[in-house]
Amino acid sequence: MSDGRALARAYLEQQRLLGTDAVALPADAEVVSPAAGPVAAGAPGSRPGSGDSPPPTSGVVHLTPGVSPGKDEKRDPVSGLPAAGLTYDPPAQDLFSSDPVQRATTLADIAELVSSCTKCRLCEARNNTVPGEGAERARLVVVGEGPGKTEDETGRPFVGKAGELLTKILSAIGLAREQVYICNVVKCRPPENRTPQYDEIAACVPYLFRQIELLAPGVILAMGNTAAQTILNTKQSLGALRSKVHRFRGIPVIVTYHPAALLRNPNWKKPTWDDVRIAHRLLDG
Ligand code: SF4
């Protein structure tokens, strides 16, 4: 292999590990893909690992392969991190939108909008909205499913026994609760703590997406099925989503069990610890 190709391959690999999903090159450039070897830009095969994928955009090398079911434990040989997983990039915001959620420029703006929100039926029985809390410059954002009884009573996310466990999990990787931002997919308590329904999630998720956009964290920790499936726009199970580094708008997403589930099933503590350590390594760069 020529020095130029070796350098290009190393550069692409570095970009992939840094979280770049695609690199655009001149249309007539020769492309060296880290996974598929040298190919011409725009030629079939310039999207690695996808023989039946759609024709690639000219001059774009996709660096994040899709999910690989059944290969959960495959590790990146350079970083030692789990293999890349799903990437979800929701549609870009309209800068001139009249939607107040899109026009919100602070987390306090979002909290104020949430406090008077009646976009779904979950507003009917709530005592308090639970928009989220934590550091405005948090490097880690923790996302759960929705408020429970104590959260509804206090207006704060992850309090009670599940919250105490989350605090312990965070402290095990050297983070105080105040250093992270903690929130949920839905901001009002579902009756009897049931799983939020699709239309409720659809109504509420713009708040979460805007919060993540404003925070621009280094890592998102999605705790539980609802958080993981909502953030990654997938119906895959939590088991299939664990042990991979996913991305939401380029931000690494790690999926793990919800602390409330750990209280019910202590056997999940070890895999949760494994997941949280991956998040920690990503935060450490
Ligand atoms: Fe509004 Fe979300 Fe509460 Fe529904 S759950 S009323 S969308 S804040």
Instruction: State which of 112, 123, 126 you would mutate to test the pocket of ligand 1, scoring each by most atoms of that ligand within 8 A of its C-beta.
Output: 123
Residue nearest to atom 4 of ligand 1 (CA): 120
Q: What is the mean pLDDT of residues 37-54?
A: 35
Report d(CA 152, CA 146) in Å as an integer: 10
Say what the pLDDT of residue 91 is: 80
Query: pLDDT higher for 4 or 63?
Result: 4
Q: What is the mean pLDDT of residues 43-52?
A: 34
Q: Which has the closest alpha carbon to 107: 172, 157, 49, 150? A: 157
- Considering the chain, what percentage of its residues have pLDDT values greater than 70? 72
Q: What is the mean pLDDT of residues 168-185?
A: 96
Report d(CA 13, CA 19) in Å as an integer: 10
Angle at the Cα of 255 (from 254 to 260), degrees rounded to 5? Answer: 130
Q: What is the mean pLDDT of residues 256-270?
A: 96
What's domain 86-284's architecture?
3-Layer(aba) Sandwich (3.40)
Give just the sign of the alpha carbon dihedral 149, 153, 158, 164.
negative
Query: How confident is residue 68, by pLDDT bands cut at 50, 70 and 90?
Result: very low
Lowest mean pLDDT among 32-36, 172-176, 232-236, 262-266: 32-36
**Residue 143: pLDDT above 50?**
yes
**Residue 73: pLDDT above 80?**
no
Query: pLDDT higher for 206 or 80?
Result: 206
In the reported structure, the alpha carbon of residue 213 is separated from the centroid of ligand 1 by a whole-number distance in angstroms of 19
Taking the C-alpha atoms of 256, 259, 264 and 269 in order, what is their torsion angle to the nearest 10 degrees? 60
Say what the pLDDT of residue 240 is: 96
* Mean per-residue pLDDT over the chain, rounded: 81
Q: What is the mean pLDDT of residues 237-257?
A: 97
In the reported structure, the alpha carbon of residue 283 is separated from the centroid of ligand 1 by a whole-number distance in angstroms of 31
Say what the pLDDT of residue 254 is: 98
Cut 0.85: pTM above it: no
Say what the pLDDT of residue 133 is: 98
In the reported structure, the alpha carbon of residue 205 is separated from the centroid of ligand 1 by a whole-number distance in angstroms of 9
Q: Which residues sit with their C-beta closer than 6 Å to ligand 1?
A: 114, 117-120, 122-123, 129, 186-188, 200, 203-204
Q: What is the mean pLDDT of residues 76-103?
A: 82
Query: pLDDT higher for 57 or 244?
Result: 244
Q: pLDDT for 183-199, tens place per residue?
A: 999 999 999 999 999 99
Enumerate the domain spans of the chain. 1-61, 86-284
Atom of ligand 1 nearest to the CA of 200: 4
Query: pLDDT higher for 68 or 275?
Result: 275
Instruction: State which of 124, 129, 193 you would mutate to test the pocket of ligand 1, scoring each by most atoms of that ligand within 8 A of its C-beta.
Output: 129
Residue nearest to atom 7 of ligand 1 (CA): 204
